[in-house]
Amino acid sequence: MASSAENVQIRVPGEARFLALIRSVTTMLARNAGFPDVDVDKIELAVDEACSNVVEHAYRKASPKPAIELEIRWEPGRFIVDIVDRGIPFDFAKHVTPKFPDHWISGECRGAGLFLIRSCMDETEYESQPGQANRLRLVKRLQPT
């Protein structure tokens, strides 16, 4: 992992066709930060799911869709991704995780996104500044080998 904090900022159009770019950048940076493949995959999945939620839910009524901004930084032992959008806020704290496998057995095929995000990352924090922006912070700690 890099010996000092490093920071990369990207601004991507808030459309689904740009999610692959977000995944590529996130994956490359997580690898460069020294994470093993299993953790790189978890980081990629969590970031992709979070950005997909922005496109599908926060920006569902927006036309044109605002950009999604990511600030990705790594410091000794921690990889931090801040995802900023300017869409409809979500009450992250009140979200109730579905019960699995009952959720899927009952025919539901959606609604597992936040469960995946929280399962893949060590820390998640969401804040909304109404009328301004929403920020989801995802943190993955590098486990000593």
Domain boundaries, the chain: 6-141
CATH class of 6-141: alpha beta
Non-local (6+) Cβ contacts of 27 within 8 A are 40, 43, 44
48 vs 93, which has greater pLDDT? Answer: 48
pLDDT at 3 over 50: no
pLDDT at 26 over 50: yes
pLDDT at 15: 96
pLDDT at 107 over 90: no
In terms of residues, how long is the chain?
145
With contact defined as beta carbons under 8 Å apart, do 52 and 18 qualify? no
pTM for this structure?
0.87
